Amino acid sequence: MLRPWPSSGTVRALCRTVHRPLLIRSHNFRFSSVAPSLNSTSADRVPLRKQLKQEAKNLRAQKKQRKENEEAFRQDWELTVGVEIHAQLDAGAKLFSRAPTSASESPNSNVALFDLAFPGSQPEFQAATLLPALRAAAALNCEIQPVSRFDRKHYFYQDQPSGYQITQYYEPFARNGWVDLYDYDGIAPEDGSRIRIDIKQVQLEQDTAKSQEYPPSAQLLDFNRVSHPLIEIITMPQIHTPATAAACVRKLQAMLQACGAVTTGMEMGGLRADVNVSVRRRGEAPGGYEYDGISGLGQRTEIKNLSSFKAVEDAIVAEKNRQIAVLESGGVIEGETRGWTIGSTETRRLRGKEGAVDYRYMPDPDIPPLVIGEDLVNLINDNLPTLPDSLVQTLRTGYGLSIEDAKPLIELDDGARLEYYRDVVDNLCSLYADRDNKTQAAVARTAGNWVLHELGGLLTKADRPWDEEIVPARSLADLIDHLQRKLITGPTAKQVLAAVFDGDRRPIPQLLKEDNLLLRPLSRDEYLALAESAIAQNPQMVEQIRSKNQLGKLGWFVGQMMRTGEKGRVEAPKAEEVLRELILGK
């Protein structure tokens, strides 16, 4: 397989490396190798491409060694992480006003007097905002509390006009949930095939304004987002690897989207994550800190406003390394809030960590208790949509898909790709209703490959967003049907898919007939002629296949036959069968 040529930036970086001495230290010795001089003979010169490949190989080896050394060096430490998710609910109105939550290009246009904290304005709880919150809590296996209350969290910042945020600190509407993470969710290998993360509580709260800085001193505020209904999901500090923390955030987002609790995820700013990180040395006496009932932990720090799964993992790794370095040098970890910038290798201090005392929590005197009836909870549970784990199981057992195909179908395009796939399979099932289950499963697997890889590849190459109308589900089903019935070859099917993708709206049967693309099978004599011609032109390769059993090179001969034969008529399995007969005698 050909290796991709490095990007231009990589080539420039490697070219700079080529002309610098490579110093390798071993004990008290120093060796250096430099680029060949102008006076060196041609036999001494090393081609530039070979130099670049060697330098890239050296860099990879050094990176791998550093990673192994660091991991071995840090086995003495235990990492503990807790996650807090802030997710915007799919609601038409704000939490405590009737102002709409719909996006607006005009700043400060979707606001009510209460959102701006006008004197005398009162909060008016919008009951409809509770429905997506209840779906989220039910999906996370939480216990819905029959009575919950709102509190004021006091802090003074320009994005909070009233000087406090309304939340549910003491008595949230949902408690004691859990989420299961599996190996296919991307958890760290050391966490095994499954790990359960407990959820302490899920609480309702209002969002803050959106601020935009204009250095050196200007800052603009858009209050459209103020009082947008949020839920905050607080996990227990039970995560011990950065990869599992990122997988937890990813899984929570997928579950919230699957149950219709939110409209957007991290990529669109509808979900943000904070992580609490602490470390302690293994084998020593337990740490003196306790969080959410779990004792023996180290002093934690909080990293705020992480906006991608990669940022979650990278920020935890950086903060873990920082804390270990501080402790090993004899320092003390301070409880503080820290920030993270994408592409950075270190977290940065933002401010001292506030505690409950600093926020001066108090019950909100203007909002009555929230009473949730058991009948509403039962209704929510009875109508909860299928969740990701159940969908994975259905796609694996009912459709015969691999986990590698099932997961992307669920996660891509907020579920739209999965709905499209099901439409394609439904169309195919109507064509294969008289076939056995094995045949139907094979067709479903083929459809998964074409939806994800063939159609997905065209979308990626064209840099186009997902749209089910680009290639209608019926058209793709008809194309797969012709391929399964061996009425067209694989290359022809890809050619037709590209034509439909580019706007050809003719029905597939009509397109194949008018463009003369239906397969006209070659006779045995025609296959023999093509094979003998390819063999006669490459006798050395034939000898390698025979003497060294290099059967992989048969594929090259198949390619030659497909290129020299009439387009769309050479079938790869039949071509390989004839080649094996002529070259190997079987």
Give per-residue burial for 187-211: e unless 16+ CB within 10 Å, then b: bbeebeeebebebbbbbbbbbbbbe
Model-level pTM?
0.74
Rounded to 5, what percent of the chain is helix, strand, coil? 45, 20, 35
Phi/psi for 15 (5° steps) reads -60, -40
Q: Give the sign of the dihedral formed by CA 42, CA 43, CA 48, CA 51.
A: negative
What letter represents residue 170's amino acid? Y
Please choose, from the candidates 4, 6, 3, 33, the residue with its C-alpha nearest in 3D space to the C-alpha of residue 18.
33
Please choose, from the candidates 135, 129, 123, the residue with its C-alpha nearest in 3D space to the C-alpha of residue 100.
129
| Residues 38/44/50/52 CA torsion (nearest 10 deg) | -40
Per-residue pLDDT of the chain (586 residues; tens, 9 = 90+): 333 434 444 434 433 433 443 333 333 334 333 444 444 455 566 777 778 888 888 888 877 776 665 665 557 899 999 999 999 999 999 999 999 998 888 999 999 999 999 999 999 999 999 999 999 999 999 999 999 999 999 988 888 899 999 999 999 999 999 999 999 999 999 999 999 999 999 999 999 998 888 888 888 999 999 999 999 999 999 999 999 999 999 999 999 999 999 988 887 888 999 999 999 998 887 878 888 888 889 999 999 999 999 999 999 999 999 999 999 999 999 999 999 998 888 999 988 877 777 789 999 999 999 999 999 999 999 999 989 999 999 999 889 999 999 988 988 887 889 999 999 999 998 888 777 778 888 899 999 999 999 999 999 999 999 999 999 999 999 999 999 988 998 889 999 999 999 999 999 999 999 998 888 778 888 888 988 898 999 888 888 888 888 788 888 998 889 888 877 678 888 898 889 888 887 6
| Residues 398/458/404/318 CA torsion (nearest 10 deg) | -140
Which sequence spans correspond to the domains of the chain?
8-73, 77-363, 388-514, 524-584
Contact 541, 491 (CB under 8 A): no
